[in-house]
Chain A
Amino acid sequence: MLKFCSLMVIPVLVFFYTMSFSRWLAKRAGTGAYVSAAMLGVISLGVSAVTIWRLVM
């Protein structure tokens, strides 16, 4: 579990980075851009978590 948590540090940081990008887009480019960028962040975090779980557990 510790190995999984340590490997998840980078995906979580990338998730927060992408979410701050989506919030920035919400102010500048509208809802479509905000939702698509937020979805990208969620998908990347989910896919990374499942893959890392499969690899280390």
Chain B
Amino acid sequence: MTQSARRNAKVPSNEMTAMLIIFVATNAFLTYPRYISRNAYEAAWMEPVLSGALTLILFLIVEFLLRKYFRNLDIVEVSKEVFGRFGAGCVALLFSLYFLCSTAAVMREFTENVVSTVLPATPLIFVGAVFMFAVGYIAYAGIEGICRASFIFLPLLLVGLVAVCLMTMNWWHPYFLLPLWGTGVDRVFVGSFQYASIFANVLLLTIIYPHVHDTRATRRMGVVSISVSTCLLVALMLTYHMVFPPEETGKTTFALYRLARIIHMGPFFQRLESIFVFLWVTAATIRMSVTLWGAAYLLSKAFNWSSYRPAIPSLVLISFSMGMWADSWVQVIDLDGKYLLRWGWTVVFALPLVILLLGSTVRAIRRDRADEHDDNGGRMRRA
């Protein structure tokens, strides 16, 4: 087995950080801007800030629990301690299903985006198949390969995102951001919580924790990745809302594509969207390879497979089929918004936190009992 596919592979924290940033920032190219714009109008840029703050708090709690009670264990191993082998299998299946649905939704959305913008004459099934082949190839390389690819690609993506923001400067209308609280404080807070599932850092941490090279750097990794991805999302949302009026922002499916289309800085810098589309597609490929690797890895841990790699082709086929199942693009966007985005927090935040809290309680009780047993043994020996 090559080094990159080892199940106990260790990855430097800067490469993990790059992977987490790309994973969250990719949502800017998907339907996330549409839903938060529809929910909060002018205050849509505040939602990533609140969601990011919530994620950061949960990340630090989860990191503390893992460091104190479950060093070098992942969520499946903790579930085995709490629920037994069968329960851990069910938990792993649930997480894997979530990852597969996420891969399928992103695949279909990006495929439709590519077909409708840069490759209009190419059949949808062909673009989707090529896309999934690339995703499967990266996932096959393992977490080391994915994180290394993320680390190399991140600077390019950052340049691309900042360029989209700055090159639309001549279209900015700062007064579009007023009134400050948009549809109201309560809706902004509810929306921030509902759509916080795009920050999957907490769930990913519970999976990648045994693979972090230096666990002392995990806290910094979480803080940096959440802060940078939040800043990127806020910058993009601010730009988007300064360019388009609030009534329009909730109707666009691909916000960034629309922004890239209107770039017009003299005769040499205009219609640059095809450059940006390929940047976003690469980012989406990395994001999908993370979810696909996560699904294969969790299943392999739950069912005692010696390697997760042979499961990758089957999982690629399942997620491709799920993505192509929907009749239309609109149906995919509706399903994504209704289930994955709105209820994703139960899988991304609530379930890992509950499992870790239960696991740490079980460990604390066992430790107390062992201490009591030692005390009684000591007393009897002295008597």
A residues in contact with B322, CB < 8 Å: 47
Decide if A5 is an interface residue (CB 8 Å cutoff).
Answer: no
Distance A37 CA – B269 CA, assembled complex (angstroms) = 52
B residues in contact with A32, CB < 8 Å: 303-304
Residue of A21, A29, A47 touching B311 (CB-CB under 8 A)? A21
Task: List which A1-44 residues lie within 8 A (CB) of chain B.
Answer: 10-11, 14-15, 17-18, 21, 25, 28-30, 32-33, 36-37, 40-41, 43-44
Do B299 and A44 touch across chains, with their CB atoms under 8 A apart?
Answer: no
Distance A15 CA – B125 CA, assembled complex (angstroms) = 20
A residues in contact with B316, CB < 8 Å: 14
B residues in contact with A18, CB < 8 Å: 310-311, 313-314
**Residue count of chain B within 8 Å CB distance of chain A:** 19
Decide if B324 is an interface residue (CB 8 Å cutoff).
Answer: yes
Residue of A14, A15, A25, A40 touching B306 (CB-CB under 8 A)? A25
Decide if B317 is an interface residue (CB 8 Å cutoff).
Answer: yes
Decide if B315 is an interface residue (CB 8 Å cutoff).
Answer: yes
| A47 and B317 contact, Cβ closer than 8 Å, known pairs A25-B306, A30-B304, A32-B304 | yes
Residue of A21, A28, A43, A52 touching B318 (CB-CB under 8 A)? A43
Distance A13 CA – B244 CA, assembled complex (angstroms) = 49
A residues in contact with B317, CB < 8 Å: 10-11, 14, 44-45, 47-48
Do A47 and B318 touch across chains, with their CB atoms under 8 A apart?
Answer: yes
Residue of B305, B324, B325 touching A29 (CB-CB under 8 A)? B305
Distance in angstroms from B272 CB to nearest chain A CB is 33
Do B314 and A40 touch across chains, with their CB atoms under 8 A apart?
Answer: yes
